[in-house]
Amino acid sequence: MSDGYDDELRARFGLDMTLSDDAPDDPALRRLLLRRTHRRYADRALPDALVRLLLAAAFSASSKSDFQQASVLWLQDRDRRDGLARLFPDMPWIGTAPVFLVFLGDARRLERIGALRGHAQDNGALEGFFNAAVDAALALQTCVLAAETLGLGTCPISVLRNRVREVAAILDLPDKVFPVAGLCVGWPMQPGFISMRLPLDATVHIDRYNDSGLPAAVDAYDRRRDARHSIKDRQRQPERFGTAEFYGWSEDKARQAMTPEGQGFAPWLKARGFTFD
């Protein structure tokens, strides 16, 4: 029997939570509760066989209707990787991670299989897009967790979608195949830190959606996060929003969301065969 994962829950939520006194002690669950993104990697190669093991784990993820609409592009070509990294100079880990994978929503394969079987269909409706995106996201996260199991560190990279036209040209993607996110993989240079999450009171609804407690929950969360790791000296766009006396997670995320991202993604998808009907 475990101690109820008290330390891990405190690390993740900044709260003393006793969720279960009789949960079995499980190292995989402890690791999962302590999961974290890594952006700096040791200068140490990953054997191809290890990457293939991670990919095998990734493709063990659940898949909507067993349609298997995720693909991965393992970007090994240095020139193409450098080309990709040059598009995002603020995120040097795209170029420096020992391994870079791109998780793709693949609505094309099901169409090709339909044509092969003599049942041609168009998979470009919203359902096809959404299912492919979800499959790719599940494979991505499964890969992340598999990597952490081996002591590796990862960082998903959705910024690719902000310049999807150039990214798709570098990756040479066919119609109806789109990037959901890249994934940097390597041996972590440092332990990293755990990103505190909103309390379950704010994210779990019993029987009926109810967010009436949100203002108080977010306020308390902002203060817990601030006490652990203040970001008051890293305020976004003070020239636009002013300098806040208390600058917490919610102010930071509200400001961040004021700058829209991925605006070229929908037109690009439509030009690549998606109708979203």
Ligand X SMILES: Cc1cc2nc3c(=O)[nH]c(=O)nc-3n(C[C@H](O)[C@H](O)[C@H](O)COP(=O)(O)O)c2cc1C
**Which listed residue (159, 189, 218, 220) binds ligand X by CB under 6 A?**
159
Q: Which is nearer to ligand X, 110 or 133 (CB)?
A: 133
Q: Which is nearer to ligand X, 76 or 195 (CB)?
A: 195
**Structure tokens of 185?**
């993989």
- The piece of 72-80, 127-135, 154-162, 263-271 that touches ligand X (CB under 6 A) is 154-162
Beta bridge partners of 101: 74, 183
Q: Which of residues 221-260 bind ligand X (CB under 6 A)?
A: none
Maximum Cα–Cα distance for the chain, whole Å?
65
Size of the site for ligand X (CB under 6 A): 11
Q: Is 158 in the site for ligand X (CB under 6 A)?
A: yes
**Which listed residue (133, 136, 157, 167) binds ligand X by CB under 6 A?**
157
Q: Which of residues 111-140 bind ligand X (CB under 6 A)?
A: none
Radius of gyration of the CA atoms of the chain, in A: 21
Smallest gap from residue 233 Cβ to ligand X (A): 18
Q: Is 9 in the site for ligand X (CB under 6 A)?
A: no
Smallest gap from residue 120 Cβ to ligand X (A): 33
Q: What amino acid occupies position 51?
A: V
Per-position x/- string for 43-72, each x denoting binding to ligand X as judged by CB under 6 A, each - no binding: ------------------------------
- The piece of 67-75, 149-157, 169-177, 261-269 that touches ligand X (CB under 6 A) is 149-157
Q: Which of residues 170-209 bind ligand X (CB under 6 A)?
A: 181, 195
Residue among 196, 192, 193 at smallest CA distance from 13: 196
Report H helices in 78-213: 78-87, 93-96, 108-116, 126-149, 164-171, 200-203
42 alpha carbon, distance to own chain's centre: 21
Q: Is 155 in the site for ligand X (CB under 6 A)?
A: yes
| Backbone region of residue 66 per phi and psi (left: phi > 0; alpha: psi in -120 to 50; beta: other values) | left
* 265: helix, strand or coil: helix
Smallest gap from residue 208 Cβ to ligand X (A): 28
**Which listed residue (32, 73, 87, 91) binds ligand X by CB under 6 A?**
91
Phi, psi of 186 (to 5 degrees): -175, 180
Angle, CA of 104, 138 and 170, to the nearest 5°: 15
Q: Is 37 in the site for ligand X (CB under 6 A)?
A: yes
DSSP structural state of residue 190: S
How many CA atoms does the CB half-sphere of 38 hold within 13 Å?
26
| Contacting residues toward ligand X, per CB under 6 A | 36-37, 39, 91, 155-159, 181, 195
